[in-house]
Amino acid sequence: MSIDRSASRPLHAQIADTLRAEIRDHVIAPGDTLPSEQALRERFGISRSVVRQALATLDQEGTVQRVPGRAPVAAASVEHRRLVQRVTGLFDQFSRSGLRLSTRVVRLEDTSAPARVAHQLGTREVLRLERVRSVENEPLSYVRTWLPADRTAGLTTGELTDASLHQVLVSRFGIRLVSGRRQIRAVPADTAIARELDTAPSAPLLLLEGSSLDAHGTPVEWFESWHRSDRVTFDVEADEATEQLRLQPDQSVLGEPRDGSGAPADELRHARELAEQLRDELDRLTHRGEEPPR
């Protein structure tokens, strides 16, 4: 990958992008020494200060390890896997894999929802919740969640620290989330989120966002969850028997009482809830006996 001197992105960031990609793709294998500063200067035609800025960025985000007096080496990647088609959250999925996910609440307040969130939840009176999720003190994701204020009144920071929001919704409010939609995008980290995730501004993140509905088909949650792409991998299960393709889903079907076959809405909701419970049980059995990820 060559650098573009006419681009607005700083040269040191472009060098860091190139080396990060080579480490990710094992062009530079974990434990291997990176090229010397002189070699990088000659390769890219840049100054020593630019090389050092790039290496400092990679060191800060954990992509390389630097020890005084020694050349930097490519760090071994630690990947945590998440099934994105599950309604269950990150806390519950990690717990089943033997990992302890810690949660720090950054923000919890009653507020007025932005237009897009109000459209998704059907109300402007919402609770805004922001959290950092970590494993062994390494931040993995930053989560911003919006909840209808009238259904989650009294929710506290203490209840959500090192806890599953979905489990709290069940135990405290009797709300079980059984369905929803998800979408994934690659985005650069803004300054605030980069600081919370201990990574560099503009570092690549995986943004998972979507809504969750209860057994009655009522929206309960809208969330945006930014994940460090060097620490979290999204898995998607493919099953021909249940494969569906919706290019432009009609949102009006969420409120219709019957499907095309004439099945009553209550029966459909019950069937969806049973299917979600079955998926949860299959996920639990799949992970039984497996060695927890390192």
Q: How far is CA 83 from CA 91, 126, 131, 179, 238, in A?
A: 12, 28, 20, 14, 11
Contact 43, 3 (CB under 8 A): no
What the chain holds in terms of domains, given with CATH numbers, is: 11-74 (1.10.10.10), 80-237+262-287 (3.40.1410.10)
With b for 16 or more beta-carbon neighbours within 10 A and e for fewer, the 5-37 pattern comes to: eeeeeebbbbbbbbbbebbeeeebeeeeebbee
Three-state secondary structure readout of 113-176: CCHHHHHHHCCCEEEEEEEEEEECCEEEEEEEEEEECCCCCCCCHHHHCCCCHHHHHHHHHCCC
Question: pLDDT tens digits, the chain, 294 residues: what are they?
Answer: 567 888 888 899 899 889 988 887 778 888 889 999 999 999 999 999 999 999 988 887 778 888 777 888 887 665 545 445 554 555 555 555 456 778 999 999 999 999 999 999 999 999 999 999 888 778 888 999 999 999 999 999 999 998 889 989 999 999 999 888 888 889 999 999 999 998 888 888 989 898 999 989 999 999 999 998 877 777 666 555 555 544 443 343 334 444 444 445 566 666 666 666 666 666 555 555 444 444
0.85 exceeded by pTM: no
Contact 91, 141 (CB under 8 A): no
